[in-house]
A and B are shown apart, each in its own frame.
Chain A
């Protein structure tokens, strides 16, 4: 590498202005050009105001398993015996207006069983996950604001009911940088595009675009799975790496000639060169990490088949290589949205159960479980009462449930969270949260806390005020932290 003339120290202001505001960029700048191997988290250099992490992190990575559409808490993780007793009877108290009409209470068609030492009940939808319950913390008192998919998906992902705020993964990479600059810091996996709402769920909004989630559409129906097709321009069809290297050598030579000639002391110019070298290495690293076929047969078997299995395994591989956050969506649209027939949870559950459990087990065997926080949930839960008035003729199968923002379950595992515990509770029918309510903002605050971030301090000045993931709310749930 050419020796560049000594430079004046870069003022913070200029650095931010030049390189895209945010101290994450500085840590990135200091990392560009590191070896292909996983580099340690870069310290934040020369930025006095940045004290991220605010305290010792319990977790370094987040994997968010998203059962988009709205998994039913009362048919999975929130057992309600009273629902059986009062099956067919009206729900006591008023039901606020819904998108659709709802009828009387409906028992869960699924049987529940106690698992593990903790004896927490999990339904037959999640038998494998049930086996892991001693590693999990079930928050049974989640609530959110709006019973529609779009606003609630946004709330769960960006902390606000309308598009235009940075997603949680963007905030995390903005605050913490990433550990491997050969890969994007925040990766979003879904077998098809789009999920409902789509890109605004992983957008960096007003944060610099570098913090945006990289969406990878891993289409399971495409039998010719090609990991090289996942990242745009990751592959060169015409030239091999050797030829490319000689091109890059020439480019380096010409760029340096220019810098010399202009006596340019501009970090921008230097950075593109280094970025080019990172890109060069990414060509081999990125397809490799997405190629789950490289895992052992035993591991592949552990996860089972299907896109969720592939997503979960890819997530483990990405985390292993230092990616900050991975989000795994079940499928496009709202696949858990079972208005007509809650029995369909069998199908979505079957696709998810084994991979979710496998992820816990696999991260343990890779020694990554303690530093990786797994979060699993939906944008909201479902009503304990049956939905009527929907379906194809204004009344079809009377066996489905409507959206329920008032009470649902999210579970966490690893990353410093206590295992084998439940936190909070809904009422006797699983309708509304009654004990230790946890708003989505509180969940976000807790996730940030586990990552070593005080959610009130991770801010970004935009449009004249400081924004943060939790808006003006959010309380860390200390009781679930080990």
Chain B
């Protein structure tokens, strides 16, 4: 035996030395790929992989798949010949020529030309050229000297020197500063998403101290409203949403909610308010679970950035679906934090930037070993309460379901026992006696409504079985009562026999399912990481269950379960004797009805009383680490070379060290925050959120195809300063906001416009439209309705009487709220680098006709109604809305409008604003001055 083994090895190595690469690549691999890879690569069905020789020899649960040189003894060949118990591929058979090819190949010793295969499969990594490495965004941060400028009095800060130097070089002159009213409105909306109050405006306008503006900036940065605004900006980057699209949702909603998603949103808001340093902020989101003790507890909520990302659940074939999820994570992390479009290197090396396919899969490796994980979001006590409450709810719901099912079964059993009576009664209606349904029902002591169902059922043309043919012939031929009763008894026996047989089969099938580990009832909620194999995708689909002969099955289903001719294919109508809903409940005794009602009330009350969802939807490392392979041409079914977890080569020193700790997420996070490009990306984002345009105007593409920086020195100055300041975002804000360039007015200058129409060099401020959140929040704020007490916690719907800030409203990937859609909210499935500003009639319709705007206008009108007269009211309105007094022309227009629309006699309610005032208020709320920031 030992000799034989040695001999085989010798043969193998002989073949291995002289492989037949063409034969293998052209003939053998395609057959394996086409027929076997679906189940026998990463899915490892039966423990078998067929994408390497090694694994074929090792085999699966049934033993080695290939005995090189001996096709007859090779399980693989036995399976494809389908001579024994093992028949492959599932559901079909290979063509004879294909069977022959594989047989020949095994006979040859199953040669597998490894070296050649690798060369064919993965493109060689091109070395990064010095020119590529020299690209501006990959460079270490420079600390550029602050340039000298001519107009020294204008340039208050370092930022101003950089901006002005560029302007002067192009002979541009900055326009004048914004007036104080415009400035406080701008900076307040910018930092908090809300307009200033008239008192705040007045205080600032009359504050003669030299640091008046600085005080305003500091006040706003310290306001809790700041995090609600700037946290929201970040939520765009991380494509925050509270659900996923899921067509196969077991509850038929079409989506899967993340019940505790809000915890991440609140964490982000808090992080901004607390000025959590950007490096810690990023680390928490990528690897909060891997941080040390005291940091970990606070940071783990951040991992929901990955945990609440789009999962494809059972939306796709598992191998593909998981690969797409990894791709999504790579995309959001690299575009969001590095300004690089690494996802472009999924199928081939990046076309423009020095990012190889191996780079891509080295990051994919990190996410291959990262999985969805839920963490407690609150005290163990509260969690225990929630779980206990949930358990009770589940139990009660199950009890209700079971009770209803039992009632339904009992009832159908009882009805089945009366089959004969119903048939006889039906004969009395449709046959000779021609009685009415009511008469026949009384005669046979049966329920008239049920009798109607029977009559319809008995008249159906037989399609799926022949059991009714005799009955129908008898009726057609004018059968006698005796004949009818004979057939009726016969049918009753059949129906009862079916019921008994079905029950026995169900018991048998339950045993089959139990043996295969398939639940009797599908689970109602699954986790996204539970769809890794075909079997999880469709549990029990491969089981051979026992059934009755087809005609008996069909009759059984028609009578007891579901109407086989139901026009509703999604959820067929219930079977003849299977009563559900009101049809069943109307037969309940008072006691039973009371029991059901009480159960329902109890469940409702329990749900209402339940504490908020106490878990975080985060991520964790997988239990065992897997090796990632390059996916040849991006196809996860064609694995190529193995790759280690590591960072992008172009951002690493030569010969980068692979990550060595678990999935490598923490090392990835460290590498990201340490890279100069990450600092450039975040300061540029902050700049763009302030000014409306970025120094690099493609904030998520700092590659070759992105926008080149309008002022590279300024960008590097900001990034360097940011790093020096411990990556404090608030310090960055302060530096930007105190500059002269931020305080410019929006006025135009024909000379400047000629040279720099797009204002890329910042010679004036950009007029910006409020985004969706700021529009809704401002409407609520000026009317006085905004509820600033109810912050955080479970999200609420966009309802007319929801007065919370918009950041606390529900964000759905499945169906985005209409208001958000209309006002250019970005697609929450993808990282968003900016908000578009469109101008569509649907936005105007919102201001013209939505009840929300009207109600806020009404509330606003009430707010100014106490003033003595219309003039005073208009003055107050302008102060609240625009922080200024109306002009003469504006006052005149307002007065004229109000006078032209007097209240109809008897309509005016004392102490309430007139209809015209409500209309007037709405006009003011619809105005450009309200919707745009100067």
Q: Mark A250-264, 1 if CB is under 8 A from B, else 0.
A: 110111011101111
Give Cα A182–Cα B701 distance, bound, in whole angstroms: 36
Q: Could you tell me if B700 and A463 are in contact, using CB atoms closer than 8 angstroms?
A: yes
A397 within 8 A of B: yes
The reply to whether A13 and B758 form a contact with Cβ atoms under 8 Å apart is yes
Stretch touching chain A among B155-163, B199-207, B848-856? B848-856
In the bound complex, CA of A100 to CA of B537 (Å):
12
> Which of B10-18, B409-417, B549-557 is found at the contact surface with chain A?
B549-557
0/1 interface trace, chain A 221-265, chain B, CB 8 Å (1 if under): 000000000011111111100011011101101110111011111
Q: Which of B701, B829, B845 contacts A232 (CB 8 A)?
A: B845
Docked-complex contact B545 and A258, CB < 8 angstroms: no
Would you call A258 and B929 a contact (CB within 8 A)? yes
A149 at interface by CB-CB < 8 Å: yes
Contacts of B39 in A (CB 8 A): 97
Contact of A461 with B by CB under 8 A: yes
Contact indicator A280/B848 (Cβ below 8 Å) = yes
| A98 located at the interface, meaning its Cβ lies under 8 Å from any Cβ of chain B in the complex | yes
Instruction: Please give, as numbers and ranges, the residues of chain B lying within 8 Å of A300 by CB-CB distance.
Output: none
What's the Cα separation between A209 and B554 when bound, in Å?
50
In the bound complex, CA of A399 to CA of B565 (Å): 11
A11 engages B893 (CB within 8 Å): no
Is the pair A18, B837 in contact by a Cβ cutoff of 8 Å?
yes
User: Which of B693, B753, B844, B929 neighbours the largest number of chain A CB atoms within 10 Å of its CB?
Assistant: B844
Query: Residue on A with the closest CB to B561?
Result: A392
Number of A-B contacts (CB under 8 A): 301
A271 at the interface (CB under 8 A from B): yes
CB distance from A87 to the nearest CB of B (A): 16
Find A20's partner among B254, B335, B838, B929 (CB 8 Å cutoff). Answer: B838
Q: Are B344 and A465 in contact (CB under 8 A)?
A: yes
Q: Is the CB of B757 within 8 A of A14?
A: yes
Question: A150 to chain B: which residues have CB within 8 Å?
Answer: 245, 247, 315-316
B890 touches A254 (CB 8 A): yes
CB distance B547 to A394 under 8 Å? yes
* Cα of A312 to Cα of B562 in the assembled complex, Å: 33
Q: Residue-by-residue, is B474-486 near A (CB-CB < 8 Å gives 1, otherwise 0)?
A: 0000000000000
Please give the distance in Å from B181's CB to the nearest CB on chain A: 12
Determine how close the nearest CB of chain B comes to the CB of A1; give it in whole angstroms: 15
* Closest Cβ–Cβ distance, residue B10 to chain A (whole Å): 36
**Residues of B331-382 whose CB lies within 8 A of A:** 331, 335, 341, 343-344, 351-353
Residue B35 lies at the interface, judged by CB distance under 8 Å to chain A: yes
Is A181 in contact with chain B by the CB < 8 A criterion?
yes
**Interface residue A362 (Cβ < 8 Å from any Cβ of B):** no
Q: How far is the CB of B240 from chain A (nearest CB, A)?
A: 16
Task: Tell me how far the C-beta of B244 lies from the nearest C-beta in chain A, rounded to whole angstroms.
Answer: 10
Once the chains bind, are A395 and B550 in contact (CB under 8 Å)? yes
**B95: CB under 8 A from chain A?**
yes
Does the CB pair A393–B757 fall under 8 Å? no
Is the C-beta of A474 less than 8 angstroms from some C-beta in chain B? no
Which stretch in B392-400, B451-459, B653-661, B918-926 binds the other chain? Answer: B918-926
Are B830 and A149 within 8 A (Cβ)? no
Known: A196-B254, A212-B821. Is A233-B850 also a contact (CB below 8 A)?
A: yes
On whether the beta carbons of A392 and B562 are closer than 8 Å, the reply is yes
Name the segment of A49-57, A315-323, A332-340 touching the other chain: A332-340
B538 touches A463 (CB 8 A): no
B767 interface hit (Cβ, 8 Å) = yes
* Pairwise interchain contact B840-A275, C-beta atoms closer than 8 A: yes
Verify if B92 is at the interface (C-beta below 8 Å from A).
Answer: yes
Q: A394-B545, A461-B705 are in contact. Are A20 and B837 (CB under 8 A)?
A: yes
B294 at interface (Cβ–Cβ under 8 A)? no
Task: Decide yes or no whether A148 CB sits under 8 A from chain B.
Answer: yes
A229 vs chain B, min Cβ distance (A): 12
B842 and A232 within 8 A (CB):
yes
Query: Given A251-B926, A271-B839: A162 and B541 within 8 A (CB)?
Result: no
B758 and A257 within 8 A (CB): no
- Give Cα A206 to B39, complex, Å: 35
Residues in chain B near residue A253, CB distance under 8 A: 893
B254 contacts A275, C-beta separation under 8 Å: no
Closest CB in chain A relative to B242 CB, distance in Å: 15
Contact code string B804-817 (vs A, CB < 8 Å = 1, else 0): 00000000001110
| Known contacts A11-B758, A396-B554: A194-B254 contact under CB 8 Å | yes
Whether A287 sits at the interface, judged by CB under 8 Å, is no
Of residues 453 through 506 on chain B, the ones whose CB sits less than 8 Å from some CB of chain A are: 463-464, 502, 505-506
Mask for A1-37, Cβ within 8 A of B = 1, else 0?
0000000111101100111110001000000000000
Closest-by-CB residue of B relative to A29 is B839
Q: Does B89 touch A at the CB level, under 8 Å? A: yes
Q: How far is the CB of A167 from chain B (nearest CB, A)?
A: 12
A395 to B850, CA, bound (A): 52
Contact pick for A269, options B848, B894, B920, B928, CB 8 Å:
B928
Is B588 engaged at the interface, CB distance under 8 Å to the other chain? no
Smallest CB separation, A93 vs chain B (Å): 7
With beta carbons under 8 angstroms apart, the residue of A10, A196, A463 that contacts B247 is A196
A208 and B836 contact, Cβ closer than 8 Å, known pairs A233-B850, A464-B341 = yes
The verdict on B509 contacting chain A, using a C-beta distance below 8 Å, is yes
Do B887 and A257 touch (CB < 8 A)? Answer: yes
B468 to chain A, nearest CB (A): 16
CB of A298 within 8 Å of the partner chain: no
Q: Smallest CB–CB gap between A333 and chain B, Å? A: 5
Complex-state Cα separation, A74 to B317, whole angstroms: 26
Residue of A nearest to B754 (CB): A8
B750 proximity list for chain A (CB < 8 A): 8
At the interface, yes or no: A276 with Cβ under 8 Å from chain B?
yes
B786-820 near A? 1/0 per residue, CB < 8 Å: 00000000000000000000000000001110100
Known A163-B245, A198-B245, A258-B929: A19·B919 in contact at CB below 8 Å: no
Residue in A closest to B91 when the chains form the complex, CB atoms: A95
- Beta-carbon contact of A14 and B758 below 8 Å: yes
Q: Say yes or no for B390: interface residue by CB 8 A criterion.
A: no
With contacts A20-B837, A148-B316, A395-B553 taken as known, whether A279 is within 8 angstroms of B842 at the C-beta atoms is yes
Chain B residue, CB-CB nearest to A385: B91
Chain B residues with CB under 8 A of A96: 35, 38, 89, 91-92
| Chain B CB within 8 A of A151 CB | yes
Q: Is B391 positioned at the interface, with any CB of A under 8 Å from its CB?
A: no
A340 to B562, CA, bound (A): 12
List B contacts of A146 (CB < 8 A).
Answer: 316-317
Interface string of B896-934 (1 = CB under 8 A from A): 010011000000000000000001101110111101101
Contact residues in A for B822 (Cβ distance below 8 Å): 232
Q: Is the CB of B838 within 8 A of A278?
A: no
Cβ of A292 < 8 Å from any Cβ of B?
Answer: no
Interface pair A97/B38, CB less than 8 Å apart: yes
Would you call A255 and B815 a contact (CB within 8 A)? no
Q: Does A272 contact B (CB under 8 A)?
A: yes
Cβ–Cβ < 8 Å partners of B900 in chain A: 246
Question: Is A469 interfacial (CB-CB < 8 Å)?
Answer: no
Which 6 pairs from chain A and chain B are nearest by CB? Answer: A94-B92, A394-B545, A464-B341, A279-B844, A395-B547, A279-B841
In addition to A163-B310, A335-B569, A393-B553, 10 A-B residue pairs with Cβ atoms within 8 Å of each other are: A94-B92, A164-B827, A210-B840, A248-B848, A254-B890, A258-B928, A283-B848, A389-B545, A394-B546, A399-B464
Interface CB pairs A-B, < 8 A, 21: A17-B758, A18-B837, A21-B836, A94-B93, A96-B38, A97-B89, A101-B541, A101-B542, A151-B316, A184-B842, A198-B245, A209-B836, A233-B846, A237-B851, A247-B919, A255-B928, A262-B934, A273-B928, A340-B564, A391-B557, A396-B557
Q: Which B residues are closer than 8 A to A by beta carbons? A: 35, 38-39, 89-95, 245, 247, 254, 310, 312, 315-317, 324, 331, 335, 341, 343-344, 351-353, 463-464, 502, 505-506, 509, 534, 538, 541-543, 545-547, 550, 553-554, 556-557, 561-562, 564-565, 567, 569-570, 572, 693, 697, 700-701, 703, 705-706, 746-748, 750, 753-754, 757-759, 767, 769, 814-816, 818, 821-822, 824-825, 827, 829-830, 836-851, 854, 887, 889-890, 893-894, 897, 900-901, 919-920, 922-924, 926-929, 931-932, 934
